[in-house]
Every structure is written in structure tokens, then in C-alpha cells.
Amino acid sequence: MTSANVHRLAVALLAALLVGCHKSGPGETAAGDSSSAARTKIRVGFSQIGAESDWRKANTESIKSEAAARGVELIFSDAQQKKENQIKALRNFIVQDVDVIVLAPVVKTGWEPVLKEIRDAGIPVVLTDRRVENEDLYRTFIGADFVEEGRRAARWLVDATGGKAVIVELEGTPGADPAIDRKKGFHEVIAQYPEMKVIKSQSGEFTRAKGREVMETFLKSPEGPSITALFAHNDDMALGAIQAIEEAGLKPGEDILIVSIDGVYAAFEAMVAGKLNCTVECNPLLGPQLFDTIEDILAGRDVPKWIKTEEGVFTRETAAEDIKHRRY
Ligand code: GZL
């Protein structure tokens, strides 16, 4: 937990002990009562994974700006891709008596104890972006169908190669919902094509730096010269791999076809430059849907277990026009 958060928690705890001796703050009644029952503003705790990719930064910006636009008190925590930091933040949200907890879980497992503490505190949980395995411990998941994203990437590659390719795969964070499901969807499709072979697959942690490093090792391996295609679980790793391919004296997008997922602006720039062939969109702009859902929950309305985001597939051929309309 950052020193700022420790400070904030200490102040909040002190204020709770000295109730009546402090000025009413935002969301408190004149009597200094900041309990959820008396508060005038919705208070939401949001545990975000980190800032590892352009997708993540756009996701954070969408949620922060929507909270500000709606006058919601957002308590934001950046976990720097560490589950233990997310768990600490979730426990702090209970102490801070938030109305709703929003969680983007870095991995799928290991959440049951803290989610049960939150349930026992009577605070609803909304998952954004990624799921956890405990379906009974959250109200809804707002996010993409990662298996379908993997299928879409594979279908494009089959069409682009006529069903014949030597593929390397850059996987996302081990144990993360999108990494598990994008891999599942991709391999489900290429399994139907005997001449589509994945010869190497390794995690690039969803980052450019790691994507470049792993792609470099793929290219330097004995099988390196045989590689004709790359499937990257996100655009940031694909952009790092493009650097490695160029450093090896090869032409990305030509010598090695590249398909990735997210649809961030830098991916469209790479497609306009001819270095990336296809990106499967994964919409990070979840802010409006998230706060509509929070309002429904607090008003006692039912919400579906999965609020699916709508997405497209974009290729190099139309990128020069498409890039004009991108919002992230
Ligand atoms: C997908 C999201 C993934 C993105 C990456 O919903 O969880 O995490 O694909 C990001 O860019 O790091």
C-alpha cells in the first residue's frame, strides 16, 4: 500500500475515533456522519491491476473520468500487477465503508477469503475486465468474451495464410482470465487446420518490454528461421515483438504476419505502417457501463451475471481510415 494510502487510512481511522471533532468533508452530513446511510455521494472502491499496457491506461482513464462526471467518490488503488496489493486494497475498502467495490482481478484464483469478508460486510462486488472463479461472490462481470477474441484472431490468421503457418505465441500474464481464454479460443480454431502449428508459446506479461525480449529468444532459437506468424495476446507485446523482428533484419507484417488483441491506438499506427496485420478489439472504455450497473445495484435492480462488451476486428487494409475514429 502506498504511503499516501496509509496516510489516508490513518486519517480516516482517526476521524472515525474523533467523530464530531472534524469539519464535515465531501459526502458527509453537517453532523459529520460519513456512514453510507447518511452520505450524499456514492463511495466506490476500485482495485485496478496496474498500468502495464495502453489498454490498462485507457481502462483506468475511462473509469476515473466517468466517476468524476457522475460525482461519485472513487477510491482508486493501483496494484502494480500484484494480487497481494489488490487484497490489501479490498480490505481497506471495507474499513472505509464503501458502497460498492469494483475489482479487476490480476489472476483468476485466490480471492475467496477476501471476497467472503466483503460479502459479510454487506458490500456488493462488481468485476470489470477479468473474472475470478468464485461466481457466487460477485454481482456481475463487465467485460469481453476472451475465448471469442482468441477464435477471431485464429480465423483471421487461417484466412491470411490459407491454413498453413509456423506460429509463435506471446501469452499474457500466467493465470489471468484473458490469457487463459484467448489461448483456448485460438487453439480451438487452429486445431482444425493440421498445417497451422504453434511451435513456441511463452508469457510476455502483457508488456512491450517482455514481448520484445521473448520474441528475440524465439527468433534466435534453432526454429527461428521457420517462423511465419505471431499471435500476441495483446497489442503491447506485439509492438515489442515488432521491434525484435526488425532488429533481426526481418520485415514485420511481411516476413512474419502478426495478429494481436486490444485495438489500442498504437496498434492502428503499426497497421498503417504495415508492421502489424490485424488487431482484435477488446474495449477498455468500461466506465459508462460500470457506473450504470452500480446505480442499478444500489437502486435494488437486478443485473445480469455477465455484461458483455461489443467488439470488432480491424486489419491493416482499412487502418488508415479506421484510425481516425479510434477513442483509445
Ligand atoms: C483484457 C485485459 C488485458 C489486455 C492487456 O481485458 O485484461 O490486460 O488485453 C491488459 O493489454 O494488460
Q: What is the pLDDT of residues 220-273, one digit of tens each?
A: 999 999 999 999 999 999 999 999 999 999 999 999 999 999 999 999 999 999
Each residue's pLDDT expressed in tens, for the chain with a length of 328 residues: 455 555 555 545 554 444 333 333 344 444 556 666 677 899 999 999 999 999 999 999 999 999 999 999 999 999 999 999 999 999 999 999 999 999 999 999 999 999 999 999 999 999 999 999 999 999 999 999 999 999 999 999 999 999 999 999 999 999 999 999 999 999 999 999 999 999 999 999 999 999 999 999 999 999 999 999 999 999 999 999 999 999 999 999 999 999 999 999 999 999 999 999 999 999 999 999 999 999 999 999 999 999 999 899 999 999 999 999 998 9
Residue 267 lies in a domain: yes
Q: How many domains is the chain built from?
A: 2
How far does the centroid of ligand 1 lie from the alpha carbon of residue 56, in Å?
Answer: 6
- The reply to whether 263 and 296 lie within a common domain is no
Residue 326 lies in a domain: no
| Tens digit of each residue's pLDDT (9 = 90 or more) over 168-211 | 999 999 999 999 999 999 999 999 999 999 999 999 999 999 99
Residue 323 lies in a domain: no
Instruction: Tell me how far CA of residue 171 lies from CA of 141, 176, 214, 325, 327, in angstroms.
Output: 23, 10, 10, 28, 25
Atom of ligand 1 nearest to the CA of 143: 6
Residue 314 lies in a domain: no
- The reply to whether 83 and 154 lie within a common domain is no
pLDDT at 39: 76
pTM of the predicted model, to two decimals?
0.88
Choose which residue among 47, 48, 56 to substitute to test ligand 1 binding: the one with the highest number of ligand atoms within 8 A of its C-beta: 56
pLDDT at 33: 65
How far does the centroid of ligand 1 lie from the alpha carbon of residue 55, in Å?
Answer: 6
pLDDT at 1: 45
Our answer on whether the CB atom of 146 is closer than 6 Å to any ligand 1 atom is no
* Cβ–Cβ under 8 Å, residues 252 and 258: yes
- The reply to whether 116 and 236 lie within a common domain is no
- The reply to whether 44 and 94 lie within a common domain is yes
- The reply to whether 211 and 261 lie within a common domain is yes
Choose which residue among 129, 264, 286, 289 to substitute to test ligand 1 binding: the one with the highest number of ligand atoms within 8 A of its C-beta: 129
- The reply to whether 195 and 139 lie within a common domain is no
Beta-strand (E) ranges in 158-256?
A: 165-171, 196-203, 229-232
- The reply to whether 300 and 179 lie within a common domain is no
Q: Which three cell numbers stand for residue 246?
A: 526488425
Our answer on whether the CB atom of 234 is closer than 6 Å to any ligand 1 atom is yes
pLDDT at 3: 54
Residue 325 lies in a domain: no
How far does the centroid of ligand 1 lie from the alpha carbon of residue 22, in Å?
Answer: 42
- The reply to whether 155 and 257 lie within a common domain is yes
pLDDT at 21: 33
pLDDT at 20: 36
300: left (phi over 0), alpha (psi -120 to 50) or beta: left
Our answer on whether the CB atom of 186 is closer than 6 Å to any ligand 1 atom is no
pLDDT at 73: 98
How far does the centroid of ligand 1 lie from the alpha carbon of residue 234, in Å?
Answer: 7
Residue 18 lies in a domain: no
pLDDT at 310: 84
Choose which residue among 106, 182, 236, 262 to substitute to test ligand 1 binding: the one with the highest number of ligand atoms within 8 A of its C-beta: 262
pLDDT at 5: 53
Residue 320 lies in a domain: no
Residue 261 lies in a domain: yes
Q: What is the DSSP letter of 256?
A: B
CATH number reported for the structural domain that contains residue 199 in this entry: 3.40.50.2300
- Domain encompassing residue 108: 3-10+23-143+284-309
- CA–CA separation, 157 and 114 (whole Å): 41
Q: Which three cell numbers stand for residue 283?
A: 474495449
